[in-house]
């Protein structure tokens, strides 16, 4: 080949190479733009990942997909055989091999929480599978995909639907277990402001403790030796060991340590940040964080916070639904700590305005989707009945007027007639929550009338409560095991205590005195009746 031809050949190759490089550059720019627009990421960009994840994503390269496929086949085969022993480990390995494939992790978690769990006949076994599903998303997938709203929605759904709903026969077990776990961490009435402001690390803790050198000296000489060992003991007892409290002899230090450990426990084990919890309470009203609905609300809120643009329809839907359920039955009054078969929950009336506002915001933020408007109107109807049942007559009237404005001409009855109509329709097909709410509300209302001297109205409310309870029990005998409606006496005791706590001190004392009088009168009447029966038989 002559020199000229050689020169031309290399010149053409050079031009072709330049054109290819330009084309590659343009393609890369388009891909980068698409990544930014759609909030996509390269697998190699995972930060703060465990060593095993870094190894699989870098060392195995594209071959990790083949290994993940093999594990998928293995998992499917084991599930077909009814052998679930390896499923948790396989799910974790698949997540580590494909850390950005969040859809796969969501499916694996759903499969464990719903499909595998229901194959177990014991509630504690189902509970373990549900917990493994939660951990897979919460402790792994979200770490690798912190800005993926789907994962937060799926996690919240397990709390809201699997635990909070009544579809699973062991839902009462789940609710009790969750409530007891949370109560162990932060108690039944936590001070979220204090927990939110607690020190977040050891350095901040020692800075908050007066004379920290002396404190560390006492700790080192004690049998606990280090903060880590003291924390382990704290989790065992759910409080500071009494002997250590006596040793430091300082209420301020004890309170600081208590808040620090509880905050740390929440963040490390449950990935719940007291700062965000306190923010949610300030925004919507004080929630009972022992309930599944509050947990679902937390993860949906966290999902919006982490998502690019802070907008996601699925998370917004979950917030409205979870907040509504918190209003309907968002306060726990009684936990069955022995058998986990009963739990009594009542409405959280303090969040009523927040629920309405949240529906309106979701409606405005999502191009006025009619589903949010319909949900708001349905909520307002339920809210009116519950508010009326629990003696919030002025608030019920306020919401009834708003409902009449929302749908002009539709609601012409008085407030009282509207509530009676709603009672009739709701009790026919009521779930345990609604039935308990209606019965509790009527008993509450009866106590309210007793305190204010309206005996006739009190008697009418009490009779209505008993009638509804007996009708519900009669019409739902086949689902009593699943739903577990508490005894009438239990519901009445709780509702009565709630009414006493809600009344002004003077009226509360009047109610207590009247109830004692009525109980004594009833006891005497029963005694007289027995004596008359005995005399008649003679």
Residue 428 banded pLDDT, cuts 50, 70, 90: low
| C-alpha 473, offset from chain centre | 29
Q: Judge contact between 125 and 134, C-beta under 8 A.
A: no
Query: What count of other Cβ atoms lies within 10 Å of the Cβ of residue 281?
Result: 17
- Please give the pLDDT value at position 226: 92
Residue 451, in any domain of the structure: yes
Claim to verify: residue 103 and residue 207 sit in the same structural domain: no
The sign one gets for the Cα dihedral 74, 80, 83, 89 is positive
Residue 123, in any domain of the structure: yes
Percent over 90 (pLDDT), the chain:
40
**Residue 185: both structure tokens together:** 């961490």
Say if pTM beats, i.e. exceeds, 0.85. Answer: no
- Please give the pLDDT value at position 53: 53
Domain endpoint, select from 85, 118, 145: 145
Least confident of 103-107, 127-131, 445-449: 445-449
Q: Judge contact between 147 and 38, C-beta under 8 A.
A: no
Q: Please report how many Cα atoms fall inside a 13 Å half-sphere around the Cα of residue 504, on the Cβ side.
A: 3
Say if residue 39's pLDDT is above 60: no
**Residue 358: both structure tokens together:** 């949240």
Claim to verify: residue 437 and residue 532 sit in the same structural domain: yes
- Please give the pLDDT value at position 359: 92
Average pLDDT over residues 105-119: 91
Q: Judge contact between 143 and 35, C-beta under 8 A.
A: no
- 310-368: per-residue pLDDT in tens? 888 899 999 999 999 999 989 887 788 888 888 878 889 999 999 999 999 988 887 77
Domain holding 79, by residue range, is 51-145
Residue 517, in any domain of the structure: yes
Residue 313, in any domain of the structure: no
Pairing of strands 343-346, 331-335: antiparallel
CA distance 382 to 361: 19
Say if residue 374's pLDDT is above 60: yes
- Please give the pLDDT value at position 481: 45
- What is the total count of domains within the chain? 3
Q: Which residues of 329-345 are buried (b: 16+ CB within 10 A; e: fewer)?
A: bbbbbbbbeeebebbbb
pLDDT: is 18 or 122 the higher one?
122
Say if residue 58's pLDDT is above 70: no
Say if residue 42's pLDDT is above 50: no
Claim to verify: residue 134 and residue 217 sit in the same structural domain: no
Residue 302, in any domain of the structure: no
**Residue 105: both structure tokens together:** 């992790």
- 143-197: per-residue pLDDT in tens? 888 999 999 999 999 999 999 988 888 999 999 999 999 999 998 789 999 999 9
Average pLDDT over residues 408-437: 79
- Angle, helices 432-451 vs 455-475, to 10°: value is 160
Average pLDDT over residues 365-386: 86
| C-alpha 241, offset from chain centre | 30
DSSP assignment of 419-481: HHHHHHHHHHT--HHHHHHHHHHHHHHHHHHHHTT-HHHHHHHHHHHHHHHHHHHHHTGGGHH
Claim to verify: residue 130 and residue 234 sit in the same structural domain: no
Q: Judge contact between 71 and 94, C-beta under 8 A.
A: yes
């Amino acid at each position: 080949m002559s020199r000229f031809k050689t020169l031309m050949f290399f010149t053409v190759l050079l031009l072709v190479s330049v054109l290819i490089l330009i084309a590659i550059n343009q393609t890369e720019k388009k891909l980068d733009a698409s990544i930014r627009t759609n909030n996509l990421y390269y697998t190699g960009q995972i930060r703060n990942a465990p060593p095993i994840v870094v190894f699989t994503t870098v060392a195995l390269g594209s071959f990790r997909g083949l290994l993940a496929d093999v594990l998928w086949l293995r998992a499917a085969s084991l599930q077909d055989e009814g052998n679930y022993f390896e499923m948790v480990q396989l799910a974790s390995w698949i997540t580590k091999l494909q850390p950005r494939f969040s859809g796969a992790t969501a499916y694996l978690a759903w499969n464990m929480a719903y499909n595998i769990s229901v194959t177990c006949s014991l509630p504690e076994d189902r509970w373990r599978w549900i917990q493994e599903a939660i951990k897979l998303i919460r402790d792994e997938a979200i770490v690798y995909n912190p800005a993926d709203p789907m994962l937060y929605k799926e996690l919240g759904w397990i709390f809201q639907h699997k635990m909070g709903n009544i579809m699973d026969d062991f839902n009462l077990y789940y609710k009790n277990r969750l409530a007891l776990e949370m109560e162990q961490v932060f108690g039944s009435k936590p001070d979220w402001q204090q927990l939110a402001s607690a020190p977040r690390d050891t350095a901040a803790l020692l800075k908050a403790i007066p004379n920290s050198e002396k404190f560390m000296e006492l700790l080192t000489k004690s049998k606990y030796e280090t903060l880590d060992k003291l924390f382990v003991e704290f989790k065992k007892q759910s409080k500071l060991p009494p002997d250590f409290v006596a040793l430091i002899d300082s209420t301020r230090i004890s309170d600081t340590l208590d808040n620090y450990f509880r905050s740390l426990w929440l963040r490390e084990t449950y990935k719940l940040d007291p700062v965000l919890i306190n923010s949610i309470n300030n925004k919507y009203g004080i929630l009972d964080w022992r309930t599944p609905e509050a947990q679902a609300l937390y993860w949906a809120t966290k999902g919006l916070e982490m998502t690019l643009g802070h907008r996601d329809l699925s998370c917004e839907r979950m917030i409205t639904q979870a907040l509504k359920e918190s209003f309907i039955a968002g306060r726990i009054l009684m936990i069955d700590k022995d058998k986990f078969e009963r739990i009594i929950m009542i409405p959280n009336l303090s969040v009523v305005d927040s629920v309405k506002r949240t529906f309106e915001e979701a409606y405005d933020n999502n191009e006025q989707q009619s589903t949010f408007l319909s949900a708001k109107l349905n909520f307002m109807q339920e809210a009116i009945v519950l508010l009326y049942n629990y003696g919030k007559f002025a608030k019920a009237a306020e919401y009834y007027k708003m409902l009449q404005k929302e749908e002009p001409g539709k609601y012409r009855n008085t407030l009282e007639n509207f509530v009676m109509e709603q009672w009739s329709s709701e009790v026919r097909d009521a779930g345990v929550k609604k039935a308990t709410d209606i019965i509790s509300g009527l008993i509450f209302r009866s106590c309210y009338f007793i305190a204010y001297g309206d005996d006739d109205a009190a008697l009418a409310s009490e009779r209505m409560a008993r009638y509804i309870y007996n009708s519900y029990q009669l019409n739902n005998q086949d689902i009593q095991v699943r739903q577990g409606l508490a005894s009438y006496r239990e519901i009445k005791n709780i509702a009565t205590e709630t009414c006493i706590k809600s009344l002004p001190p003077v009226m509360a004392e009047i109610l207590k005195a009247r109830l004692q009088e009525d109980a004594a009168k009833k006891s005497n009447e029963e005694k007289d009746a027995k004596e008359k029966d005995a005399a008649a038989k003679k």
